[in-house]
Amino acid sequence: MQGRIVITGMGTVNPLGLSVRESWDNVIAGVSGVAPITLFDSSSLAVHIAAEVKGFKPENYMDPREARRRDRFEQFTIAAAREALTDSGLEITEANAGRIGVIISSAIGGLQSLQDAVLVNHTEGPRRVSPFLIPMLMANGGAGMTAIEFGIKGPCFSVASACASGSDGIGTALMMLHTGMIDAALAGASEATITSTGVAAFDRVGAMSRQNGNLSMIPQPFDKNRDGLVMGEGAAVLVLEREADAKARGANILAELAGYGATADAHHVTAPQENGEGGAAAIRMALASAKADFEDVNYINAHGTGTLLNDQTETRAVKAVFGDLAYKIPISSTKSMTGHMMGATGALEAIFCVQAVRQGILPPTIHYETPDPECDLDYVPNKAREANISLAISNAFGFGGHNAVLAVRKYI
């Protein structure tokens, strides 16, 4: 272990904004990013709502010609990485480029590009398939194109662990920094699955809310009347460095990335283990990694998808770890506002944890109306709350039984 690992920069595009500041302001205000789908004609589907990134113009972040050769999830990645690097003030030079890593994950990759190519191949033949298809659809495309865009030559890859991908990528970067393999990292995730295929597939699994006409109350994490998630999209990237290096260059340290835990349920390909054992083990691992006691945790940013089983399972996991303390720890699901950004969701929620410990404000869980006896903790209903937060944890649980937990500590 080589000292503390700190966060010096953050960037995001998501359904609540095209920057960290805009997104945080909207989260604290309880703004919902859910609206009717505009990216494609959803009339043939059972689901017509999603949390889309609004007003995004890729040419504002990259060369327009290059933008046309990149899938939407890759465009999001470059935008978030550019903001994170600017925020951090980290200069990439020939001398340090090989000591900086890019671990930017995606659970699914370029789904729209793949969907379009399948249609072209079927209707027009294989010679009409784009020669840029492979780099547009591969899940590591966001990481690779970020390295190219900014001239970063250290380890570069993507972690794919479903909805835990972003958190696992950040946790992997944390471990690489601790071993001394790299001096700094861009870590996070990006996803753009709001396509006809993506929405149809998640709906067929039974995960999606179909309350298309009830935008003022959907999704409803932890509420008794919840009926499923709403799909979101976007990217979030953090700049991580060793504390000594960050201080030496006069960086503005935002928070400490204190711990990481990861486990597998080994139970079912989509459903979580109902007793929450896997999630609980990941929380314990993250706290042990952070050298933190259970009493130190002041806030939990929940996975909180708004599906019946996920919310109950996560509540059981929290109770299994914290016992009676669980009733004193505020918990919120920011997915009630951003929707579920799949592989990118944990990375954005890590940013929200950083903002919570820095500013002493707890994001709300909006749309919370009717308590569920099985979900009986403090979910910060509907309105943000001021609080002194020294340690926050972010839970991300994914299909396949992947559990990843990050611990973020206030930097003093």
267 is catalytic: no
122 is catalytic: no
Q: What is the DSSP string of 63-111?
A: -HHHHHTS-HHHHHHHHHHHHHHHHHTPPP-TTTGGGEEEEEE-SS--H
pLDDT for residue 192: 98
pLDDT for residue 214: 85
Q: What is the DSSP string of 136-169?
A: HH-TTHHHHHHHHHHT--S-EE---BTBTHHHHH
CA-nearest of 325, 320, 343, 336 to 397 is 343
What is the rounded CA–CA span in Å between residue 104 and residue 97?
16
268 is catalytic: no
- Which residue ranges form the domains of the chain, and what is each CATH number? 5-248 (3.40.47.10), 260-409 (3.40.47.10)
Per the residue annotation, which of 48, 122, 156, 163 is the catalytic one?
A: 163
pLDDT for residue 12: 98
pLDDT for residue 1: 47
What is the rounded CA–CA span in Å between residue 33 and residue 52?
7
How remote is the C-alpha of 360 from its chain's centroid? 21
**How confident is the prediction along the chain (412 residues), in pLDDT tens digits per residue?**
469 999 999 999 999 999 999 999 999 999 999 999 999 999 999 999 999 999 999 999 999 999 999 999 999 999 999 999 999 999 999 999 999 999 999 999 999 999 999 999 999 999 999 999 999 999 999 999 999 999 999 999 999 999 999 999 999 999 999 999 999 999 999 999 999 999 999 999 999 999 998 888 999 999 999 999 999 999 999 999 999 999 999 999 999 999 999 999 999 988 888 899 999 999 999 999 999 999 999 999 999 999 999 999 999 999 999 999 999 999 999 999 999 999 999 999 999 999 999 999 999 999 999 999 999 999 999 999 999 999 999 999 998 999 999 999 999 9
Instruction: Please tell me whether residue 277 adopts helix, strand or coil conformation.
Output: helix
Contact in structure between 236 and 24 (CB atoms under 8 Å)? no
Q: What are the distances in angstroms from CA 219 to CA 10, 156, 223, 336?
A: 26, 35, 9, 5
pLDDT digits (tens, 9 = 90+) for 248-295: 999 999 999 999 999 999 999 888 888 999 999 999 999 999 999 999
Per the residue annotation, which of 340, 367, 375, 402 is the catalytic one?
A: 340
pLDDT for residue 271: 84
| Torsion angles phi and psi, residue 301, rounded to 5 | -90, 110
Per the residue annotation, which of 303, 353, 375, 402 is the catalytic one?
A: 303
Contact in structure between 104 and 145 (CB atoms under 8 Å)? no
CA-nearest of 349, 271, 262 to 310 is 271
pLDDT for residue 2: 64
Please give the model's pTM, rounded to 2 decimal places: 0.97
